Amino acid sequence: MPSFKRRLKLKNLTIVIKVFDKMPETSLDTVERAHWVHIAVMGLTGSGKSTFIQTASQCPDVVIGDHLQSCTSELKGYNFHYKGYNITLIDTPGFDDTFKTETDVLKEIADWLADSYSKKERLHGVLYLHSIDKTRLEGSALTNLRMFRQLCGEDPLKNVVLATTFWGEVKKERGEQREAQLRDEPKFWGEMIQSGSLLMRFTDDRSSAFEIIDYFLSLQPVSLEIQHEMIDLDKSLIETSAGKHLNADLLQQEQKHKERLLQLQKEHDQAIESRDEQLRITLEEAQSKFENSLARINRQQEKLRADRRAEDRRRQNEFENKIHELESANRNSIDEKLADFEGKSFDEMLARLRANEIKLPPAQRDQLESQIREAEKSPELNGPTARKRRGTSKYLLPALMVLTPITSAALLGFPIFLPNMGGDGTGGAGTDPSAMGGGA
């Protein structure tokens, strides 16, 4: 495909921008047997994660929010086909999510990573996005970045792309200054770049999105630190590096809240002694807010301490219960179909058989005709007590199902599963017809 490259030099950094003469084709339809490439997309709320995914995949289901409120309510993958590969871009909530705690987000991401790792699925890399219009990298941004590093570990950083976004929101010179600060400052991206991470730009167009994806296609799959810890070392979430880091923050918050509550209690007692009713009410309201906040912190700690194996057992039980419900619903549907067949007259059954027997191989067709002739000789269908009305087909149906393969039964339009057939629908020549409703 014809293309050319343009290079921008900023100090010691060379940024390569590939400009395509023609955009590579993508498709939302994945291709059977094509190689799968999984890329996790992470970053703060409003950093452009959903925008990148929608731009690259052209998937209409991707919801794009604003800079302030999260629109990624749960971790979700978006599939598309590109350059012979099936690509999955995994949209993740940020640790500063509008509606979830840091613990909820970490647990959701960790569980997904652990599950995919146990299924032998590896990430080709992680794309970490940051809006270039952010004036400083502090507060929630630094917390998010530190958590991200704990998730990845040291060696997988070579499979990380650090991409700046929203270049259209700032003047070029200002954006380049901020990019240089991110690149050079060790506590920002400096150390990660030294460990092999690549700095790139996403400029809200498909060419820059494909440039990033092309880089990931050149990499070998990698295992993140938290995957190794939770699966290979069988650690609980709170025992992982990311879990320990988050728990340390929670313990610090817990201590500050307890100290503040003690101080408020002293001030509350003094207000009672001085009979300052307005101050007493104000302090009680403040106490209530801190107690609620402390309770939320304690709930987050409990979630971190939760045993993943117990959670796995709970999810397995839910899965088994769901399967049981589906089996019950399927069994009821089959019973209804069977009752319908058994309620037909012999002549109605013959008409259906002969309308469909052309679908059978010749040998099975001959066998079917033989069964029909045997059924016609039945005392139930001959003589003065003959009953060729409704209900008499039950003498023909079991015998046919015993000797007719399942595939043939389906072609003939019969229910595939019948009672007393071992529950798996295999049937076979060893099944007793009388146990299936055949008899006087």
Residue 250 and residue 222 share a domain:
no
pTM for the full predicted model: 0.63
In a domain, 397, yes or no: yes
User: Average pLDDT of 178-196?
Assistant: 93
| Region of poorest pLDDT, from 22-31, 35-44, 152-161, 415-424 | 415-424
CATH number at residue 176: 3.40.50.300
Closest CA to 228 of 117, 138, 125, 375: 117
Residue 94 and residue 67 share a domain:
yes
In a domain, 164, yes or no: yes
Residue 251 and residue 196 share a domain:
no
pLDDT at residue 29 greater than cutoff 80: no
Domains of the chain: total: 3
pLDDT for position 95 = 83
User: Sorting pLDDT into bands at 50, 70 and 90, what band is 439?
Assistant: very low
253: Cβ contacts below 8 Å, ≥ 6 apart: 297
User: Sorting pLDDT into bands at 50, 70 and 90, what band is 343?
Assistant: low
In a domain, 431, yes or no: no
pLDDT for position 409 = 57
Most trustworthy range by pLDDT among 92-96, 239-243, 354-358? 239-243
Residue 294 and residue 208 share a domain:
no
User: Sorting pLDDT into bands at 50, 70 and 90, what band is 437?
Assistant: very low
Domain final residue, candidates 177, 199, 234: 234
Range of the domain at 273: 244-323
In a domain, 385, yes or no: no
What mean pLDDT, rounded, does the chain reach? 78
Residue 227 and residue 91 share a domain:
yes
Q: How many residues does the chain have?
A: 440
Residue 173 and residue 154 share a domain:
yes
Residue 161 and residue 28 share a domain:
yes
Domain final residue, candidates 184, 213, 234: 234
Residue 203 and residue 56 share a domain:
yes
In a domain, 331, yes or no: no
In a domain, 105, yes or no: yes
pLDDT for position 94 = 85
In a domain, 239, yes or no: no
Q: pLDDT tens digit string along 37-93?
A: 999 999 988 899 999 999 999 988 887 765 545 555 578 889 999 999 999 999 998
Residue 364 and residue 269 share a domain:
no
pLDDT for position 419 = 41
Q: Which residue has the higher pLDDT, 387 or 243?
A: 243
Residue 289 and residue 198 share a domain:
no
Residue 401 and residue 299 share a domain:
no
In a domain, 401, yes or no: yes
